[in-house]
Amino acid sequence: MTEIPEHLRKRAEEARKKAEAKSAGGDAGAGEAAAPAGDAAPQSEAASRIPAHLLERSKAAKDRAAGGGESGGGGAATGTAVATAPAGGGGVAAAAPVATGPGGHTQRLLTVVKSGSIQDVKATPVDKVHTWPHLLAVEFVAALAVTAFLLIFSMFVNAPLLTLANLNETPNPSKAPWYFLGLQELLTIFHPLVAGVTIPGIGIFLLILAPYIDQNPSQKPEDRKFAVSLFTVHLMFWAVLTMISSFFRGPGYLFVFPWTEGLFFEL
């Protein structure tokens, strides 16, 4: 149900009272009464500021709702004039029916209210947390747990250390730690300048440029083909070199088969 604003109701009521007061204070003569009746509509219109066509439509609708008004009255004359106008002239069309609301009101108000004007949205939720204390507190607790585990584990299990080194005897083959075995394998293939500087430098430079080349924000592996390919090549390259240097290098750092010459590597 459509409700008419209160200020429009008050304005119409004041205009109606002024019109009735002016018509009641006029002379009783028929000739004199016709003139104030004709002036009542403009004055009430000026007081209420309601357009004339709306007043006419409202008056006609009330007359039709009342069954044409009293017989012989001014309301009946108006209703008859509106209804029988097409019969007098062939070119005049009938008046369109006026849709009225509850109580015979013809005013309609339609407005669109945006959600932002009635809902106070202070912040947009994001998938982020504060570094302190949410992230650092969890990392600190994890670091304490790992440290406690290593301390207790070292009390019961000895580290796989070799005997003391003999300065007069160099082990053959002499192998670097596991994290340098791939680089040591490159030294057997290329010149030290190429194996120790050029190839590692190119690899590090490509890793530095990777975030600028692949700017895809997706976290799905199927959408990150460049990043996955670069990581796979890097991993396989150094993994293969490390495995060859660990299990396929014997005395003199010569290439051997571990299933025939034995394993020259201590884990």
Look at residue 110 in the predicted model and tell me its pLDDT: 63
pLDDT band at 142 (very low <50, low <70, confident <90, very high): very high
pLDDT band at 266 (very low <50, low <70, confident <90, very high): confident
Q: Could you tell me if residue 135 is inside a domain?
A: no
Is residue 42 located within the same domain as residue 108? Answer: yes
Question: H or E segment at 84?
Answer: helix 74-88
Look at residue 75 in the predicted model and tell me its pLDDT: 43
Q: Could you tell me if residue 64 is inside a domain?
A: yes
Note down the domain range covering 21.
Answer: 6-85+96-114
Is residue 101 located within the same domain as residue 187? Answer: no
Q: Is the peptide bond before 133 cis (omega within 30 degrees of 0)?
A: yes
CB 8 within 8 A of CB 15: no
**Residue 45 burial (C-beta neighbours within 10 Å; 0-12, 13-18, 19+):** middle
Is residue 185 located within the same domain as residue 107? Answer: no
Is residue 13 located within the same domain as residue 110? Answer: yes
Is residue 186 located within the same domain as residue 103? Answer: no
- Give per-residue pLDDT as tens, 22-32: 887 764 444 44
Q: Where are the alpha helices (DSSP H) in 157-198?
A: 181-187, 192-193
Is residue 109 located within the same domain as residue 182? Answer: no
Three-state DSSP at 28 gives coil
d(CA 166, CA 143): 38
pLDDT band at 263 (very low <50, low <70, confident <90, very high): confident
Is residue 14 located within the same domain as residue 104? Answer: yes
Is residue 184 located within the same domain as residue 104? Answer: no
Is residue 10 located within the same domain as residue 110? Answer: yes
Q: Could you tell me if residue 146 is inside a domain?
A: no
Q: Could you tell me if residue 241 is inside a domain?
A: yes
Q: What percent of the chain has a predicted confidence (pLDDT) above 70?
A: 67
183 closest CA partner among 200, 158, 166, 202: 200
Q: What is the total count of domains within the chain?
A: 2
Any idea what the CATH number is for the domain that residue 196 is in?
Answer: 1.10.287
The token duo for 74 is 């001014």
Is residue 107 located within the same domain as residue 203? Answer: no
Look at residue 77 in the predicted model and tell me its pLDDT: 42
Question: What does residue 256 show for φ and ψ, rounded to 5 degrees?
Answer: -135, 165
pLDDT band at 205 (very low <50, low <70, confident <90, very high): very high
**Please, what sign has the CA dihedral across residues 40, 42, 48, 54?**
positive
Q: Could you tell me if residue 215 is inside a domain?
A: yes
Is residue 204 located within the same domain as residue 106? Answer: no
Look at residue 125 in the predicted model and tell me its pLDDT: 62
Q: Could you tell me if residue 155 is inside a domain?
A: no
**135: DSSP letter:** I
Question: Residue holding tokens 């009635």?
Answer: 118
pLDDT band at 191 (very low <50, low <70, confident <90, very high): very high
Q: Could you tell me if residue 240 is inside a domain?
A: yes
Q: Could you tell me if residue 38 is inside a domain?
A: yes
Q: What percent of the chain has a predicted confidence (pLDDT) above 90?
A: 24
Is residue 16 located within the same domain as residue 101? Answer: yes
